[in-house]
Amino acid sequence: MSVPSLLAVFAHPDDESLSAGGVLARHAAAGARTGVVTSTWAADTGRAAELAEALRILGAGEPRLLGYADARVPRSAPGRARFCDAPLDEAVGRLVAHIRAFRPEIVVTHDAYGGVTGHPDHVHTHRVTMLAAQAAGLARFHPDAGAPWQPRALYLATHPHSAVPALRAVVGERKTAYSVPDEQVTAAVDVGPWLERKIAAVLAHRSEVERGAVPGLLARLSVPEWRRLMGTEWFIRHDLATTAPARTELTV
């Protein structure tokens, strides 16, 4: 059985590795086309260079950047609007162009909470991706953005309630951790065989490691702790293509 092509859409450099690094590596290793669109940071920044290295490790091609500024870091894209402030139709149109160019069968992005941290850029990336994944199949929506293409399924990267205690041991009790009831998770992917690549991709975001952000916290862990914390990736599936002859699944 062929493995479906996969395009991930995440807010910041490092989100792709933290939330779906194992799935990206797994699909790439199976011969599927994999790619990543990142909402924020400009191409000529250090974090974009770190993203390129992480994607090389995961087998996910070259960075694809929407180029907006991080909500909390104006220098991430000098002279550009914050992603959360950009006109919605503009942002959706830019992502539609990437979807039509890549033609993925599966799109992966943040859940409605914006993942466990609830960062506003994560939440907005969820909104924009939900709209763009559907709009990409509409011929009269941004006709200059390429021929229509309808992905078959959207997978939202999430965390079940049962995974939160392990996260608390790393991020601490002071941080709010957004999660969903376990029964809402429709795919739990064991990424153990690809964990080494996932770890290397996370650590490629060196500036985040150095400043003590989540990659920095994870860098202190042992491999068994990594396996317990990051060895499974969870998703909520939404079907998009109404004429699909069969379900298109993440490899699990």
Half-sphere exposure of 109 (CA within 13 A, CB side): 28
- Does residue 248 belong to any structural domain of this protein? no
- What burial class does residue 88 get, using C-beta atoms within 10 Å of its C-beta: 0-12 exposed, 13-18 middle, 19+ buried? exposed
Q: 56, 51, 59, 58: which is closest to 67 by C-alpha? A: 51
What is the Cα 20 distance to its own chain's centre? 6
Which residues, 6 or more positions from 220, have their beta carbon under 8 angstroms from its beta carbon?
A: none
- Does residue 244 belong to any structural domain of this protein? no
Tell me, what's the pLDDT at 161?
96
> Assign residue 20 a region: left if phi > 0, alpha if psi is -120 to 50, beta otherwise?
alpha
Which residues, 6 or more positions from 93, have their beta carbon under 8 angstroms from its beta carbon?
A: 141, 142, 145
Start-end of H helices in 103-153: 120-135
Task: Please give the Cα distance from 98 to 95 (Å, whole number).
Answer: 5
Domain extent at residue 81: 6-239
| Tally of domains in the chain | 1
How confident is the model over 63-76, as pLDDT tens digits? 999 999 999 999 99
SS3 157: strand
- Does residue 116 belong to any structural domain of this protein? yes
Would you tell me the crossing angle of helices 46-58 and 195-203 to the nearest 10 degrees? 170
- Does residue 121 belong to any structural domain of this protein? yes
How confident is the model over 124-171, as pLDDT tens digits? 999 999 999 999 999 999 999 999 999 999 999 999 999 999 887 776
How confident is the model over 202-214, as pLDDT tens digits? 999 999 999 988 8
| 55 C-beta neighbours (distance < 10 Å), count | 27
Q: 6, 2, 130: which is closest to 61 by C-alpha? A: 6
Strand partners for 158: 234
Residue 121 to residues 88, 114, 117, 158, Cα–Cα distance (Å):
13, 8, 10, 15
Q: Which CATH number fits the domain that encloses residue 20? A: 3.40.50.10320
- Does residue 252 belong to any structural domain of this protein? no
Per DSSP, 152 falls in state: S
Across 79-103, average pLDDT = 97
Residue 105 clears pLDDT 70, i.e. is over it:
yes
How confident is the model over 223-244, as pLDDT tens digits? 888 999 999 999 999 999 765 4
Tell me, what's the pLDDT at 242?
60
Residue 120 to residues 148, 170, 183, Cα–Cα distance (Å):
29, 21, 25
Tell me, what's the pLDDT at 57?
98
- Does residue 1 belong to any structural domain of this protein? no
- Does residue 212 belong to any structural domain of this protein? yes
Tell me, what's the pLDDT at 64?
98
- Does residue 213 belong to any structural domain of this protein? yes
Whole-model pTM: value is: 0.94
How would you classify the pairing of strands 153-158 and 187-190?
Answer: unpaired
Residue 252 clears pLDDT 60, i.e. is over it:
no
